[in-house]
Amino acid sequence: MSAHNRIYSVLNNKCPRCGEGDFFITKSAYSLRFDKMHRHCPSCGESLVPEPGFYQGALYMSYAFYVVFMLLYFFVFVAFLRPYLDYFLVTIIPVLILLTPLFYRLARRSWLAIFIAPDTQQVHKNASAGN
Ligand SMILES: [Zn+2]
C-alpha cells in the first residue's frame, strides 16, 4: 500500500482520510455521472458530505483553479505562441468549458481535503502489517 497524502487523494479521486476509497463514483470526469459522489467513503466510512451546503466552499477552490489555469494558458501563449495570441481569446472559453467537469471534481476533493487530515495512523498500521 502506498503512503497517501492530501495531494495524492485529491489527484486520484480518493477519500482524504484513508486514501483508499473512491470519492466520486465514476473514475472519469468525462462521463454523464461525473458529479455523483459517495456520501461515505466505501473503504473507511468517513463522511464525504459533512454537512448540507458544505461544498458551496468548493466554489472558491474552482475559482482559484480557473484563475491559475487561465494565467498559465496565457503565459504559454505569450512565451511560445506569441504570433498566435489571437487564438488565446478564441480558445479560452471553449477550453474552460471543457475543463469544467475536471475542475468541479478537483475543487470538491481539495475542499474536503482541507478539513479532513490523512489518517497516518492507519497508513502506519497497514505498513507494518505488510511486513
Ligand atoms: Zn476513506
Asked if residue 1 belongs to a domain, the reply is no
In the predicted model, is pLDDT for residue 105 greater than 50? Answer: yes
Q: Are 65 and 100 in contact (CB under 8 A)?
A: no
Asked if residue 62 belongs to a domain, the reply is yes
Q: Are 4 and 10 in contact (CB under 8 A)?
A: no
Residue 86's domain comprises 6-129
Asked if residue 64 belongs to a domain, the reply is yes
pLDDT-derived band at 129 (thresholds 50, 70, 90) equals: very low
**In this predicted model, what pLDDT tens digit does every residue of 49-103 receive, in sequence order?**
999 999 999 999 999 999 999 999 999 999 999 999 999 999 999 999 999 999 9
Residue 52 CA to ligand 1 centre (angstroms): 20
Residue 32 CA to ligand 1 centre (angstroms): 24
Residue 59 CA to ligand 1 centre (angstroms): 23
Domain count, the chain: 1
H/E segment holding residue 6: helix 6-11
What is the residue whose three cell numbers read 495570441?
85
Neighbours of 41 (CB within 10 A): 21
